Amino acid sequence: MCLGIPGKILSIYEDHGTKMAKIDFGGVSQEACIEVIPDAKPGDWTIVHAGFALNKLSEEEAQETLDILREMSELAEAEDLKHNDG
């Protein structure tokens, strides 16, 4: 139920006064209501649940977390190698 799918906003339009967007989900494009992310622009990422954008998705935050985890994983590996050698 709380499934949220990340998608990239392609274009923004209005339908009966409601803010809507065409959103690309890995090659499939679908409409969603973007009423609660009023500052969203084409090219922004968002999380969509039941045809409704919940929040914007930060590319920078995503990359930063990945970089930290990658660094941690490399450190653990280096530590392993050291143990195996010694």
Partner 1 sequence: MTDKGTPEFLSGYRDAKLVHGVIKDIKAQVTQSWTLMEICGGQTHAIMQYGLDQLLPEEIELVHGPGCPVCVTALELIDQALWIARQPDVIFTSFGDMLRVPGSEEDLFSVRAAGGDVRVVYSPLNAVKIAQENLDKEVVFFAIGFETTAPVNAMAVIQAEKLGLTNFSILPANVLVPPAMHAILSSPGNRIQGFLAAGHVCAVMGYWEYPPIAEQYQTPIVVTGFEPLDLVNGILQTVNLLEERRFEVQNAYSRAVTYEGNQCAQNLIKQVFQLVDRNWRGIGTIPASGLGLRETYQKFDATKRFEIGQIKTSESEICIAGQILQGLKKPSECPAFGTLCTPQNPLGAPMVSSEGACAAYYRYGRKNE
The contact set with partner 1 (CB under 8 A) reads 1-6, 16-18, 24-27, 33, 35-38, 47, 49-52, 54-55, 57-59, 61-66, 69-70, 72-74, 76-77, 80
SS in 3 state form for 12-64? EEEECCEEEEEEEECCEEEEEECCCCCCCCCCCEEEEECCEEEEEECHHHHHH
Report the residue number, 16 or 82, with the smaller CB distance to partner 1. Answer: 16
Reduce the DSSP state of residue 3 to 3 states and report it: coil
For the CB of residue 54, give the shortest distance to partner 1 in the complex, in Å. Answer: 5
* Least distance (Å) between residue 47 CB and partner 1: 5
